[in-house]
Structure 1
Amino acid sequence: MSDVIQQLLGYFQSGGYVMPPLLVATVVLWWTLGYRMMALRRGSLRSPRVMVDRQMQGILPTNQGVLTRVLKKGMKLRDQNLPDLRRYLDDAFAEEANEIRKYKVLITTIVLVAPLLGLLGTVSGMIETFDSLGDMSLFSQSGGIAGGISQALITTQMGLAVSIPGLIVNGILDKKQKTLEIEMAQLKDYLCCPIPDIQPKTA
């Protein structure tokens, strides 16, 4: 275990001054992605129409999620027979609408900035390499040619390692967010319009 820790420390030291910001960016990125995963829980596998029908029948959902929370709020407002119900629903659903968008901008910023930080480390490493070439020093106190090339490659690798998984996961979460926003709009439509009872056809 200690060998692994020593290798990781050596890896980060080889990356130079760009590695601490990249490490912080990694921690913040995955914390915010985890938060969004929890915030985007749907709460039910049923369609919005079925959820409304079951709620009217008194069958309450057991799982907690975005749609179940907004449905409970919407049903309470609907039972009050308020005029212009949609306006009240917009206000009631605003908290969940903001919650599912939370940290979206921060995640996008980190995903975009991480490769640029890696590029900054690459440029710094190449500058050190060319300085060492001028002195013809393969190894020196500052790293020399080998240290400069190592820093350039490590920071590029780290920047991409932070950005690519974050980009993929964030894309999946964005798609889930858009789906939830559409389903929330459908819930508003179902709650605002009277839902007729479906009577069995007689021969």
Structure 2
Amino acid sequence: MSNLVIDTFIKGGPIMWPILATSLAALTVIAERTRWWVHFHLRSDRRARAGVYAALENGRVGQAAALAAGSSDPVLRVISHGLEHRDAEFKVALQNSAAAELERAGRFLNVLDVIITLAPLLGLLGTVTGIMRAFQFVGDAEVAAINVSGGIAEALIATAAGLAIAMLTLLPFSYFNSRLARLTFHLQTAANNIEIALGAIRVREITEAPATAATAAGDNQPETAAPAAASAAIHHELGHATAA
């Protein structure tokens, strides 16, 4: 079997060497990304996420920050970074942290994208060089049959190898992209939920401040509905995000 593979590789001509290099690069990236996503699945902590959302819904920002701090879950790392900077550039902190997590998740995918395009082109180049080699011997009756068939075999082998590498690389590339899109959704949802939760907490703190003389006279009646409305809205949003 090994001899057959080696013989076929040699018959594919010199272009098989760069095709082999692309296949090794694709296998290396696929193995590395598969390992990364397996570790990502093991690091995900949905229970801790739910605990953070519940603490924020009840106004316990410190408890939420403690639950998210030091977590290996990428979503919780983004939440923790945002809570650490909630009094300063909150949105910028969330965006920067989310961008860093997405950069880790999408690492080397551009390499697979290039290989998917490059491998068939290398196979096509092998087709051209094989046909050129075959036509060099057209007209020489003594060696024409053997060498022409060898050139055609080189063209077909190179084409088949390039197409096979592109197709086999396309499947994991599509899977990794789908996982990246899903992670992007979860990070966006987490950022929105944190922003809504902190906004509701600020409203609650304002409405629960010591009553002034005007509110004591009854002017605070319309404002007391604000905390309940904010709490109901954040409860709906956080419950939806936790279920997702």
When normalised by structure 2's length, the TM-score is 0.66
Letter in 2 for 1:33: I
Q: Superposed, which structure 2 residues align to 1:45-84 within 5 Å?
A: 46=46, 50=50, 52-53=52-53, 56=64, 64=72, 68-75=73-80, 77-78=82-83, 81-84=86-89
Rounded Cα–Cα distance in structure 1 between residues aligned with 2:132 and 2:92:
60
Match of 1:188 in 2: 191
Match of 1:176 in 2: 179
Task: Report how far residue 107 of structure 1 moved.
Answer: 1.0
Match of 1:105 in 2: 110
Unaligned runs of 5+ in 2: 56-63, 199-230, 236-244
Which deviates further from its counterpart, 101-110 or 39-48? 39-48
Structure of larger gyration radius: 2
Q: Which runs of 4+ in 1 moved over 4 A?
A: 45-49, 57-60, 195-198
Q: CA separation of 1:47/1:185 partners in 2, compared to 1, >3 Å: closer, same or farther?
A: farther
Rounded Cα–Cα distance in structure 1 between residues aligned with 2:140 and 2:45:
67
**Going by fraction, where is helix more abundant, 1 or 2?**
2
- Alignment of 1:16 with 2:19, yes or no, is no
Decide which of 69, 91, 94 is 2:96's aligned counterpart. Answer: 91
Unaligned runs of 5+ in 1: 199-203
- Alignment of 1:44 with 2:47, yes or no, is no
Match of 1:166 in 2: 169
Rounded Cα–Cα distance in structure 1 between residues aligned with 2:190 and 2:15:
48
Letter in 2 for 1:179: R
Rounded Cα–Cα distance in structure 2 between residues aligned with 1:115 and 1:128:
20
Match of 1:201 in 2: none
Q: Is the 8 A contact 1:125 1:150 kept in 2?
A: yes
Between Structure 1 and Structure 2, how many residues are aligned? 188
Decide which of 112, 115, 138 is 2:145's aligned counterpart. Answer: 138
Rounded Cα–Cα distance in structure 1 between residues aligned with 2:177 and 2:34:
10
Superposed CA offset, 1:39-90 (max 9, x none)? 3434438499636437849777xx95xxx13413422541564234121111
Decide which of 23, 26, 29 is 2:23's aligned counterpart. Answer: 26
Letter in 2 for 1:100: A
Partner secondary structure for residue 82 of structure 1: coil
Q: Is the 8 A contact 1:111 1:166 kept in 2?
A: yes
CA-atom RMSD, angstroms? 3.0
Partner secondary structure for residue 139 of structure 2: helix
> Among the aligned pairs, what percent are the same residue?
23
Rounded Cα–Cα distance in structure 2 between residues aligned with 1:47 and 1:97:
22
Rounded Cα–Cα distance in structure 2 between residues aligned with 1:72 and 1:51:
14
Match of 2:202 in 1: none
Q: Is the 8 A contact 2:116 2:167 kept in 1?
A: yes
